[in-house]
Amino acid sequence: MERKTVFSGLQPTGNIHIGNYLGALRNWVKLQDEYDCIYCVVDLHAITVPLDPTQFNRDRLDAAKALIAAGVDPERSLFYYQSQVPQHTELAWILGTITGTGQLNRMTQFKDKSDRAGSNLGLYSYPVLMAADILLYRADAVPVGEDQKQHLELTRDLAERFNHRFGDEFPMPEPIIPEKGARVMSLQDPTAKMSKSDPDENSRILILDDPDTIRKRLKRAVTDSETEVRYDWAAKPGVTNLIEIMSLLTGESVQSIETEYGTGGYGTFKDAVADAVVAGLAPIRSAFREMDDAEVARLMQRGALDARTRAEGFQQAVRKRVGLAG
Ligand code: TYM
């Protein structure tokens, strides 16, 4: 039987945090054992907000290095920068011609971001480029965090609309969203998700943060005025978020964390969470430090070359369907 295709992407903004890791990256890494995986540093998505080009270029390489350090294996998976494979933007344009503006107006991420960053056409059509990323390779499954669910629904709608209008071309991609960790919350406001763009650095832990920073941020994490360590999203979102992070990084069950730290006070509990996070991220940090920039740049070039060949094969079929071939 043919192996299923998995596709996912991450924006290279230099702030890859434990939400990205626990919600998506860990699944990316695991899926490599079983599936034909394609992972993309989506640099074109990232430039929809104003950036310093020199810093961005550095962040883009660092994101590629961090993903490899976290376990993305360029020998087993296709791994590259989105901008180096022009078939992504070509397909995005074609899909744009069957996307209703009403549907784009309803995208919550667009609404959030355009409030903060001011609107532009790139930000508006962002979900169409994401649909193109996924459909370009006829991906069957897409490992993401919960915040990408709406974009996945749009992707499926566009696949269906295209198939209906031009003939069966795209399979329906399924999201792979983990049961726990799909929505890691901000350490400063546990009712909002942890985000790369939050101006408050204390709201997140980056996967490359040093142990002192991790400990400081967890000490400052917002909890509540009680003292009990108990898993309860409605009444105790701050504590529950920390329990979940700890459970995911140690493999210890929520129940056993509750039993162990239930009445010992928040100070002891936060120290234990910090130990778990420091230990869980240590291998990524040390792998990152050992990596050679030029070697990673070379791997990314090779990935793009392979991706272009593969994407071009698929795009020829799309061009034919819409009358653009020959
Ligand atoms: P990005 O770069 O914002 O995030 C990368 C991945 O991390 C997940 N994530 C979270 N998971 C749990 N808790 C959180 N607090 C949290 N924050 C982020 C995201 O769901 C995502 O899976 N639009 C995408 C990038 C993209 C893409 C694609 C993804 C572009 N094309 C095609 C899949 C397929 C984004 O902005 O991810």
Q: Give the C-alpha separation, 293 to 260, whole Å.
A: 43
Q: What are the counts of helices (DSSP H) followed by strands (DSSP E) for the chain? A: 14, 5
Q: Would you say residue 277 has pLDDT above 80?
A: yes
Our answer on whether the CB atom of 194 is closer than 6 Å to any ligand 1 atom is: yes
Ligand 1 center–CA 226 separation, angstroms: 33
Which CATH number, 2.60.40.3470, 3.40.50.620, 3.40.50.1820, 3.90.870.10, labels domain 5-177+292-322? Answer: 3.40.50.620
Please indicate whether residue 196 is annotated as part of the active site: yes
pLDDT (0 to 100) of residue 244: 98
Class of domain 201-288: mainly alpha
Residues linked to residue 26 through DSSP beta bridges, in sequence order: none
Q: Catalytic: which of 4, 30, 196, 320?
A: 196
Measure Cα distances from 243 to 211, 236, 239, 314 in Å: 19, 11, 6, 44
Q: Would you say residue 240 has pLDDT above 80?
A: yes
Please indicate whether residue 216 is annotated as part of the active site: no
Token pair in block for residue 202: 């204390």
Task: Determine the residue of 108, 112, 148 to mutate for testing ligand 1's pocket, defined as the one with the most ligand atoms within 8 A of the Cβ atom.
Answer: 148
Q: Catalytic: which of 113, 180, 270, 320?
A: 113
- Domain ranges in the chain? 5-177+292-322, 201-288
Please indicate whether residue 219 is annotated as part of the active site: no
Residues linked to residue 206 through DSSP beta bridges, in sequence order: 17
Say whether 64 sits in a helix, a strand or coil. Answer: helix
Our answer on whether the CB atom of 205 is closer than 6 Å to any ligand 1 atom is: no
What mean pLDDT, rounded, does the chain reach?
96
Nearest-5° Cα angle at 242, 239 to 246 = 140
Token pair in block for residue 256: 């056993």
> Residue 18: which of 173, 175, 247, 230 has the closest Cα?
247
Ligand 1 center–CA 281 separation, angstroms: 19
Our answer on whether the CB atom of 238 is closer than 6 Å to any ligand 1 atom is: no
Task: Determine the residue of 6, 31, 42 to mutate for testing ligand 1's pocket, defined as the one with the most ligand atoms within 8 A of the Cβ atom.
Answer: 42
Q: What is the pTM of this model?
A: 0.96
Ligand 1 center–CA 24 separation, angstroms: 7
pLDDT (0 to 100) of residue 117: 65
Q: Would you say residue 261 has pLDDT above 80?
A: yes
Q: Would you say residue 111 has pLDDT above 90?
A: no
pLDDT (0 to 100) of residue 38: 98
For ligand 1, atom 1, name the residue with the nearest CA.
10
Torsions phi, psi for 227 (to 5 deg) = -130, -5
pLDDT (0 to 100) of residue 14: 81
